[in-house]
Amino acid sequence: MNVLKVPARTIAVFVLPCLLIYIGLVFVPIIVSVYDSTLEWDGINAAKHIGIDNFKTMFAHDAHFWPAVRHTLMYAVFSMLEIPICLFIAALMNRYVKKANTLVSLYFVPVVLSTVIIGQLWKTVYNPTEMGGMLNGILNSLGLDSWTHNWLTEPKIAMYCLYIVSLWQYFGYHLLIQFTGVQNIPQEVYEAAKIDGAEGFKSDWYITFPMAVPIFKISIVLAFIGSLQSFDLVWVMTGGGPAHATDTIATLMYNSSFTSYQYGYGSALATFLVVLCLVVTVIINAVFKKVEEKYS
């Protein structure tokens, strides 16, 4: 069979424009942000070079930094909890639901909604007043008055309320990814396993789940990295409050840069977030590489 060989120069002609745009929109801002992190600058007046002092302040003197890191990491961990559930549901839908694509599309609706709409919707659900708060209204009607709370204004539970909203919003997203992966598993494999006596959940355990590992990894990486950058939902629902109880790295970075006018310090937070995302991605890929080798 003759294979068409495309000259390297031709490939470069098509790749180079996109590569330049990608570098300009991604890598150049990162480099500029790293440089800005060494400055004491309000974004308007003359900047003063202070070396790594912003990072010293961030790690040792900012009382809100480590709580924000903890909230962000917990946000990321919670975002991954639904992925095994999505994989299990996808396996069941692939086997028992005839028009599964329609059902998956319905689950996907929250993903395409604006985060502002979702935030306002759930603020209504969490509204503490009897007239406007659906959750407290349901609890009151069930005689569970002691379970009612000011959900988004109590520091101990506000962050968990945001976790639930995020899980609800992206459930359909991860279900679609897992369902697509399960559908791509060849039926011949299941038929061969059926001959050997592996059916139902047993076939899922030994065939579906191991062969879905690459797709599972994609969901894990997307969920974790996306959650590390969580900003919009938190900003719409709580703004990082009450008393910084729902601050993430991204909201702390925004407040530092555009509210407190500490642009250099905000750039240091952005640099830390980029490094954290890279480290987490490398770790996840290393872990799943061993898992894929085990099942290959």
The pLDDT of residue 3 is above 60: no
At residue 171, the pLDDT reads 93
Determine the straight-line distance between the first and last CA of the chain, rounded to whole angstroms. 30
Report which listed range, 190-199, 206-215, 285-294, is most confident: 206-215
Structural domains of the chain, ranges and CATH numbers in brackets? 61-295 (1.10.3720.10)
Average pLDDT over residues 109-134: 86
Does 85 or 294 have the greater pLDDT score?
A: 85
Spatial distance between the Cα atoms of 108 and 261, rounded to a whole number of angstroms: 39
Q: Nearest Cα to 118, choosing from 72, 173, 54?
A: 173
User: Residue 39, SS3?
Assistant: strand
Average pLDDT over residues 152-174: 93
At residue 16, the pLDDT reads 92
> What are the two backbone dihedrals, phi and then psi, of residue 248, each rounded to the nearest 5 degrees?
-110, 175
At residue 116 the predicted structure's pLDDT band, cuts being 50, 70 and 90, is: very high
At residue 98, the pLDDT reads 79
At residue 207, the pLDDT reads 84
Q: Nearest Cα to 247, choosing from 67, 63, 118, 57?
A: 67
The pLDDT of residue 122 is above 90: yes
Cβ neighbours around 267 below 10 Å, total = 24
At residue 131, the pLDDT reads 52
Q: Which helix (H) or strand (E) holds 235?
A: helix 232-237
Average pLDDT over residues 33-51: 91
At residue 190, the pLDDT reads 80
Residue 48: strand pairing partners: 40
At residue 272 the predicted structure's pLDDT band, cuts being 50, 70 and 90, is: very high
Q: Nearest Cα to 256, choosing from 46, 64, 67, 70?
A: 64
Does 262 or 203 have the greater pLDDT score?
A: 262
At residue 210, the pLDDT reads 86
User: Is the Cβ–Cβ distance between 171 and 111 less than 8 Å?
Assistant: no
Q: Nearest Cα to 174, choosing from 230, 102, 229, 222?
A: 222
Residue 39: strand pairing partners: 49
Buried b (16+ CB within 10 A) or exposed e, 49-67: ebeebbbebbeeebebbeb
What does the block give as tokens for 187? 């039926």
The pLDDT of residue 1 is above 60: no
Lowest mean pLDDT among 13-27, 40-54, 197-211, 214-228: 197-211
At residue 296 the predicted structure's pLDDT band, cuts being 50, 70 and 90, is: low
Average pLDDT over residues 204-216: 86
Dihedral, CA of residue 34, residue 38, residue 42 and residue 43, to nearest 10? -40
Residue 116: strand pairing partners: none
What does the block give as tokens for 68? 């924000």
The pLDDT of residue 7 is above 90: no
The mean pLDDT value of the chain amounts to 89
At residue 130, the pLDDT reads 54
Q: Classify residue 125 as exposed, middle or buried by CB count within 10 Å of its CB (0-12, 13-18, 19+).
A: middle
Question: 50 CB contacts (<8 Å, ≥6 apart)?
Answer: 38, 39, 40, 264
Lowest mean pLDDT among 22-31, 206-215, 270-279: 206-215
Lowest mean pLDDT among 79-83, 135-139, 196-200: 196-200
The pLDDT of residue 189 is above 80: yes
